[in-house]
Structure 1
Amino acid sequence: MERIAMPSWWSSTWPTLVGVLGALLLLWLMLLIVLWRATPNQTGLREALRLLPDVLRLIKRLAGDRSLPRGVRVRLLLLLAYLALPFDLVPDFIPVLGYADDAVVVLVVLRSVARAAGPQALQRHWPGTPDGLAAVRRLIGT
């Protein structure tokens, strides 16, 4: 049986490739843990899903508000791009987290926006009911 000769660069490259892939896997697992810890309780998750249409309109309105700092608008635009992507950070076949990752990412970004732009920005752009805004504030912890 004849052995196939590997290129000389392969013997020095494969350990690096394995290390990079291992590091990416470790980062992804750490992300899963963070998302799991940040996932609201089942009541909060149901409440967040019920508010989803208003929250999406809120994000769009906040992203278009030129009076907000650029960093806030960039975060919101990146969030909209993430939500539009056909794949998620956590695949949907993973129980609970598979469907909750979008909600958790939205809540984390909205918490960041509320802290940077102030809760009055959320109130100014909120398209829904006052009860809905109160629920969003409760979910994001402001």
Structure 2
Amino acid sequence: MAWEAVLQVAVIALGAYLLLLGGLAVYARRHPEVVSLRDALRLGPDLLRLIRRLATDRAVPLRARLMLAALAVYLILPIDLIPDFLPVIGYADDVVLLAVVLRVAVRSAGADALVRHWPGSAGGLRAVHALAGVRGPDPDGPDRNTA
């Protein structure tokens, strides 16, 4: 039935989001100078908006946009490298793949594209810069809260 597939996708997305939140909460407590707990909790929805914006921006290289589209398809499909019914590790492949594709896409598109499309706070942007391995904004700059 169609509703079962929609429910499965919703449960997978919620599980991946909760796993991401847990990891971010631990990271935020250990590194408060990089990202606050509040910014860490907002990072999931902000990342989804960032991925959508980067994937639809024609200024971003085609290779990066195709990788982001493939990531979206992979996350939507119920078939995973590691089955999602396995506790914790089942969602780890989704989170790792998201991090790797985002890193490659942001490095390909450039830090300017990341700043241009980032919908969240400056703390979240610093965390994504760290994840992507690109030079971030001035830490003394104003807090961009455009969401």
**TM-score interval, normalised by the smaller of the two chains:** 0.5 to 0.7
User: What is the TM-score with the length of structure 2 in the denominator?
Assistant: 0.60
Correspondence 1:20-35 to 2 at 5 A = none
**Is 1:64–2:56 an aligned residue pair?**
yes
**Is 1:81–2:69 an aligned residue pair?**
no
**Is 1:114–2:106 an aligned residue pair?**
yes
Which structure dedicates a bigger proportion of its chain to helix? 1
**More off after superposition, 102-111 vs 89-98:** 89-98
Inter-partner Cα distance in structure 2 for 1:49 and 1:80? 21
What secondary structure, in the 3-state scheme, does the structure 2 residue paired with 1:51 have?
helix
Correspondence 1:1-142 to 2 at 5 A = 42=23, 43-44=26-27, 50-142=42-134
Aligned-pair Cα RMSD in Å: 2.6
Unaligned runs of 5+ in 1: 1-40
Unaligned runs of 5+ in 2: 1-21, 29-36, 135-147
Aligned to 2:143: none
How many aligned positions are there?
103
- Contact conserved, 1:48 with 1:136, CA < 8 A, in 2? no
Aligned to 1:29: none
- Contact conserved, 2:40 with 2:124, CA < 8 A, in 1? no
Q: CA deviation at 1:95?
A: 4.5
- Contact conserved, 1:48 with 1:103, CA < 8 A, in 2? no
Q: CA deviation at 1:59?
A: 0.3
Which has the greater radius of gyration?
Answer: 1
Aligned to 2:8: none
Aligned residues with identical type, % of pairs = 55
Inter-partner Cα distance in structure 1 for 2:41 and 2:68? 18
